[in-house]
Amino acid sequence: MKKCLIFSIIAMSLLACNKNPLLDQPNTPYGVPAFDQVKLSHYMPAFEAAIEEQKAEIDAIVNNEAEPTFENTIVALDRTGMTLERVEGVFFNVLEADGNDEMNEIAEKVSPMLSELSDGIILNEALFKRVKFVYDQREQLGLNPEQMRLVTETYKRFADNGANLPEDKKERLKAINQELALLSLKFGNNVVAETNSDDMKRFITDEALLKGLPESAKAAAAEEAEAAGHPGEWLFTPKRTSFTPVLQYCENRDLRKELLMDYTTRGNRNNDNDNKAVIIREMELRIEKAQLFGYDNPADYILADCMAKNHQTVDAFLQSVWAPSLAAAKREAAALQELLDQDLPGEKLQPWDWWYYAEKLRKAKYALDEEEIKPYFELDNVRKGAFGVATKLYGVQFEKLENMPVYNPEVEVFKVTEADGSLVGILYTDYFPRAGKRPGAWMNQILPQYIDENGDHRPVIINVGNFNKPTAGNPSLLSMDDVETLFHEFGHALHGLLSKAHYKSLSGTNTPRDFVELPSQFMENYAYEPEVLKTYAFHYQTGEVIPDELIAKINAAGKFNQGFVTTELLSASILDMDFHELTTAEGLDVNAFEAQSLAKMGMIDEIIVRYRPTFYNHIFTTGYEAGYYSYTWAAVLDADAFAAFKETGDLFDAETAKRFRHLLEQGGTRDAQELYIEFRGKEADPANLLRRKGFIE
């Protein structure tokens, strides 16, 4: 990446931070960040210098005496902040995946600085005047479609973030944005702190209490206990890899309840990590912000730039899927109640019973025991399987790179190339839980893709997960849900890696939120296809390929428990929308509001919403507010897209794959709906999703 021109004040800052690996162009393979050279002391000077550099770049655009043009204003603006993106790409990825108290303190200092910088750019009247000048002349400039998209999206970004507001409202907006940045950070830190707290560590001393739990899960819990200074015991925590096997297999109903309640009450215990007050304040500010822009509620403000456009469209969409999902969940609950009655006559099915009896029913109905399948899902092999799907679809190749700079020894690095050897990008993978890692799985961009006069700058992408760590006796073995998660996040990675945009603000996953989940969920479709399974599902001890009878069981059970899965997901989506359709937060009681929302939607008592408000990172930390519906919205697209391959009779049909790769390459350079229709030839048919889930024939 070519360094931007740095003015004298920036040069002084860089001299003061001599040999700061975050600021200097790294002397590393493929220009990846020098993770191994970065120290805590480098971050603040790097942020300070990079922020000043971008301010200087903005000043250069504003002070340009030439008439505003596409190149000297719109493109120049897109090219600003390259150094800052590199600094952010390192810091925030490490913070999320391997953070600590010192990094949290830095984040608390940096977040308001970044918010102030962003507002200082968006609310810069002279800069907006230049942007608007080009926008108003756009039809006469002879722009190609991507250039036109950059102009319109740049103008919208300014307008949607306050450029047209009067001065007093601009000042209030700045204050709101800075406070929201800190609240978001506090919310996420509280969830991590509570998840890792001593109060959430459940040490088991009597092995009899673990009856039914697979040996692999007991071994992992024993290693965790020993690492925590409790040899001879078993440790369970609210991390999914820890408590999920207990919910599925452990006969001890009290332990199942205790662990599920630990997980679902995080941030809601009236302690230092409680998030209820954070939520109320976030909602107060989000409502105020939306109303500054003339919207009644945050949902409509946020959705204006999405495919859905408004909350009424989202609400109607969610309800159309909710009704058949809830009906299926009620049928499933009745079947599980029958099993419970055999063990505990007179007892009612509870949320901590669902996974346990669903696993029993799956075994009885399909003779499918997930513990029988797990030995075939060794992590490295599953990853190779996902890579293999990408190779067959798009021709890209993957090569593991050794001795690359990483922020943690568990991180692995892969070079991704075209069939002719040209570079597609660099992919980092970081799959195991650790104390400083936030829960869940995600894809992030470390360095963006874009094309300028120096060529095509290829991206650096990371996939992060929280899968089972290898134990002394076993490698990392994945559950069926883990396999889907790995394929899902790899789909996001491909979206970033295959990007061919000229402008970084339009490249990769810079798309509407209700479109961005299409590439990830599309990849999930391949995980359990028989011809794909045979390429990666090998028994970790014998090397035997997964037998046909197991594959048949997996696919026969593919529609099993989908009422639960979909209802759990949709309830979180509806809860998200209910929060963000509020027009006031006065008198908001988080727990009471959640209860009212669930009652209104008719949620059954046997299922707990996937994300209860106080640990709902998606909508209170990571920018998915009024956007969690997008997983289901994109599921309609992904089911329809996969149907396009199915209709050819070839899961890897070359012509269909070529069209879908073209969709991935476009990033945000085109209207999302137009892109999809260009690929499919028509709008997506929701029936493909309902059929896949078994809700309709």
405, 383 contact by CB (below 8 A): no
pLDDT digits (tens, 9 = 90+) for 260-290: 999 999 999 999 999 999 999 999 999 999 9
Q: Are the beta carbons of 604 and 329 closer than 8 angstroms?
A: yes
574-633 tens-digit pLDDT:
999 999 999 999 999 999 999 999 999 999 999 999 999 999 999 999 889 999 999 999
Give me the pLDDT at residue 473, please.
86
Q: Has residue 17 got a pLDDT over 50?
A: no
The pLDDT assigned to 9 comes to 41
What confidence score (pLDDT) does residue 333 get?
Answer: 98
Q: Supply angle C-alpha 198, 203, 205, rounded to 5.
A: 155
Which H or E run includes 580?
helix 562-580
Task: Compute the average pLDDT of residues 326-346.
Answer: 97
Q: Mean pLDDT across the stretch 547-560? A: 94
Spacing of C-alpha 650 from chain mean position: 30
Mean pLDDT over 477-489 rounds to: 96
What percent of the chain shows pLDDT beyond 90? 94
pLDDT band at 13 (very low <50, low <70, confident <90, very high): very low
Total residue count of the chain as it appears in this document:
697
DSSP, collapsed to helix, strand or coil, labels residue 239 as coil
Q: Which residues are catalytic?
A: 489
In whole angstroms, give the CA distance from residue 83 to residue 22: 8
In the beta sheet, which residues pair with residue 464? Answer: 430, 442
Q: What's the pLDDT tens digit per position in 103-139? A: 999 999 999 999 999 999 999 999 999 999 999 999 9
Amino acid 302 reads: I
Domain positions in the chain: 8-164, 196-264
With cut-offs at 50, 70 and 90, classify the pLDDT of residue 26: confident
Give the pLDDT confidence of 389-419 residue by residue, as tens digits.
999 999 999 999 999 999 999 999 999 999 9
Query: If you average pLDDT over every residue of the chain, what do you get?
Result: 95
pLDDT band at 472 (very low <50, low <70, confident <90, very high): confident
> Band of the pLDDT at 373, cuts 50, 70, 90?
very high
Q: What mean pLDDT is predicted for residues 650-671?
A: 98
pLDDT computed for residue 695 by the predictor: 92
Architecture category of domain 8-164 in CATH: Orthogonal Bundle (1.10)
DSSP conformation letters of 606-643: T---SS-GGG-HHHHTSS-TT-TTHHHHHHHHHHHHHH
Residue 118: both structure tokens together? 């962003």
Confidence of residue 18 (pLDDT cuts 50, 70, 90): low
- The pLDDT tens digits of the residues spanning 68-81 come to 999 999 999 999 99
Q: Which residue has the tokens 């290898």?
A: 470
d(CA 285, CA 182): 12
**Residue 8 predicted with pLDDT over 80:** no
Q: Tell me: the pLDDT tens digits for 238-256?
A: 999 999 999 999 999 999 9
Q: How far apart are CA 221 and CA 242, in angstroms?
A: 7
Beta-bridge mates of residue 204: 234
Q: What percent of the chain has pLDDT over 70?
A: 97
Decide: helix, strand or coil at residue 238. coil
Q: Average pLDDT of 82-99? A: 96
Average pLDDT score over residue span 14-42: 85
Single out the residue of 137, 46, 27 nearest to residue 94, CA to CA.
46
DSSP 262-276: HHHTTT-SSSTT--H
Give the model's confidence band at 19: pLDDT under 50 very low, under 70 low, under 90 confident, else very high. Answer: confident
